[in-house]
Structure 1
Amino acid sequence: MRLAKQRKAMGYSQEKFAHVLGVDRTTVGRWERGETTPDPVHRPKMATLLQLDLSELDALLTSPQADFQESAASPPGDRDGSGDIDDMIRREFLRLVTAAGALAALPADEAEALAEAAQRGSPDDFHRMNQHLWQVYQLARSKSSVTTVVRDQLSTLNDALKMRAPRQVDALCTAAGDLFQLAGELSFDGNRYTDAAACYSAAASASGNARAFDLWACALVRHAYVDVYEKRFAEAAETLEVAWRVAARGDSSLSTRYWVASVQAEAYAGLQDLDACERALDEAQYVTDLSGRLHNGGWLRFDGSRLTEERGARYVQLGRLDLAESTLKSALASDALVHGPSFRRRGAVLADLAVIGAKRLDAEQVVAYGSEALRLARQTGSGYIARRLQALQAELGSLGRDRRVAEFDAEISVLCRM
Structure 2
Amino acid sequence: MSIADRRRALGFTQEKFAEAVGVDRRTVGRWERGTSRPQPPQRPKVAGVLMMSLEELDALLTPAEVLPQSEGLASSAHNGPGDPDEMIRREFLHLMAVSGVVAAIPTVEVDAQEQGATDFDRMNGHLWQVYQLARAKHSVYPVVQSQLTALNDALRAGQAPAGSLCIAAGDLFQLAGELAFDSNRYHDAAASYSLAASASKEAGAYDLWACALIRTAYVDLSERRYRQAAETLGAARRVALRGDSSLATKHWAAAVQAEAFAWLGDFDACEEAMDEAEKVADLRGQVSTGGWLRFDGSRLAEERGARYLQLNRLGLAETALKDALKLAPLAAGQSFRRRGAVLVDLAAIGAKRKDPEQVIEYGLEAVRLARTSGSGYVARRLQTLTAELGSFGRDGRIAELRAEIGTLTA
Q: What TM-score do the two structures reach when normalised by structure 2? A: 0.77
Partners of 1:338 and 1:133 in 2: how far apart?
A: 21
**2:133 maps to which of 139, 143, 146:** 139
Q: Equivalent residue of 2:332, what SS? A: coil
Computing the radius of gyration from Cα coordinates, the structure with the larger value is 1
- Describe how 1:212-223 pairs up with structure 2 within 5 A: 212-223=205-216
- Partners of 1:240 and 1:264 within 8 A in 2: yes
Query: 1: CA distance between counterparts of 2:306 and 2:226?
Result: 15
Q: What is the CA deviation profile of residues 121-177 of structure 1, one whole-angstrom value per residue up to 9, with x for unaligned ones? A: 821111111111111111111111111111111111111111227x81211110111
Q: Aligned pair 1:288/2:281, yes or no? A: yes
Report if aligned partners of 2:79, 2:188 keep a CA contact under 8 Å in 1: no
Structure 1 residue 283, shift from structure 2 partner: 0.6
Using the TM superposition, give the Cα deviation of residue 87 of structure 1 relative to its aligned residue in structure 2, in angstroms. Answer: 7.3
Structural mapping, 1:156-171, within 5 Å: 156-164=150-158, 168-171=161-164
C-alpha distance after superposition, 1:360-396 (max 9, x if no partner):
2222221122112222222333322222111111211
- The structural deviation recorded for 1:346 is 2.3
Q: Structure 1 residue aligned with 2:87, among 72, 89, 95?
A: 95
With over 3 angstroms needed to count, the CA separation of the structure-2 counterparts of 1:103 and 1:121, relative to structure 1, is farther
Report what 1:402 is aligned to: 395
Shift of 1:93: 1.6
The share of aligned pairs that are identical, in percent, is 59
1:103 Cα deviation after fit:
1.6
Q: Structure 1: how far apart are the matches of 2:207 and 2:347?
A: 36
**Change over 3 Å in CA distance of 1:89–1:292 after alignment to 2:** farther
1:187 and 1:195 in contact (8 A); partners too: yes
Q: TM-score under structure 1 normalisation? A: 0.76
| Counterpart position of 1:254 | 247
Q: Say whether residues 1:265 and 2:232 are aligned partners.
A: no
Q: Distance in 2 between matches of 1:150 and 1:400?
A: 46
Q: Secondary structure at the match of 1:324?
A: helix
Matches within 5 A, 1:198-209: 198-209=191-202
- Pairing of 1:71-150 with structure 2 (within 5 A): 91-109=83-101, 111-116=104-109, 119=113, 122-150=116-144
Query: Hey, what's the Cα distance between the residues in 2 that align with 1:317 and 1:308?
Result: 14
Q: Distance in 1 between matches of 2:81 and 2:66?
A: 24
Q: Which has the higher contact order (CA 8 A, sep 6+)?
A: 2
* CA distance, structure 2, for counterparts of residue 364 and residue 89 of structure 1: 49
CA contact (8 A) 2:360 2:401 kept: yes
Q: Over residues 255-303 of structure 1, what are the superposed CA-to-partner deviations in whole Å (9 max), with x where a residue is unaligned? A: 1110001001011011110111011111100111111111111100001
Distance 1:207 1:401 in 2: 53
Question: Does 2:313 align with 1:320?
Answer: yes
- Name the CA distance, whole Å, in 2 between partners of 1:129 and 1:34: 35
Q: Is the 8 A contact 1:121 1:160 kept in 2?
A: no
Instruction: Mark the CA change 1:89 to 1:328 in structure 2 (over 3 Å): closer, same or farther.
Output: farther
Shift of 1:339: 4.5
1:90–1:292 Cα change, 3 Å: farther
Shift of 1:106: 2.9
Paired position in structure 2 for 1:331: 324
Listed as ranges, the gaps of 5+ residues in structure 1 are: 1-26, 37-81
The aligned counterpart of 2:30 is none
The alignment covers a number of residue pairs equal to: 339
Which residue number corresponds to residue 275 of structure 1? 268
Distance 1:85 1:243 in 2: 31
Q: Which structure has greater helix proportion?
A: 1
Give the Cα separation in 2 of the matches to 1:200 and 1:35: 18
Cα 1:89–1:358 shift into 2, 3 Å: farther
What one-letter code is carried by the residue in structure 2 that aligns with 1:188?
A: F
Q: Any stretches of 5+ residues in structure 2 without a counterpart?
A: 1-58, 69-74
- Aligned pairs for 1:295-306 (under 5 A) are 295-306=288-299
Q: Is the 8 A contact 2:99 2:155 kept in 1?
A: no
2:361 paired with 1:361: no
Q: 1:257 to 1:85 in 2, by over 3 A?
A: closer
- In the superposition, relative to structure 1, how do residues 324 and 92 fare at CA in structure 2: closer, same or farther (>3 Å)? same
Q: CA RMSD in A?
A: 2.6
Give per-residue Cα distances to partners, 1:219-275, cap 9 Å, x unaligned.
000001100111101000111111111100000011111000100101101111011
CA distance in structure 2 between the partners assigned to 1:115 and 1:270 by the alignment: 53
Rounded to whole Å, the distance in 2 between the matches of 1:34 and 1:331 is 43
Kept in 2, the 8 Å contact 1:121–1:156? The answer is no
**Among 301, 325, 332, which residue is 1:340 paired with?**
332
Residue number in structure 1 paired with 2:23: none
Determine if contact 2:251/2:278 at 8 Å carries over to the other structure: yes
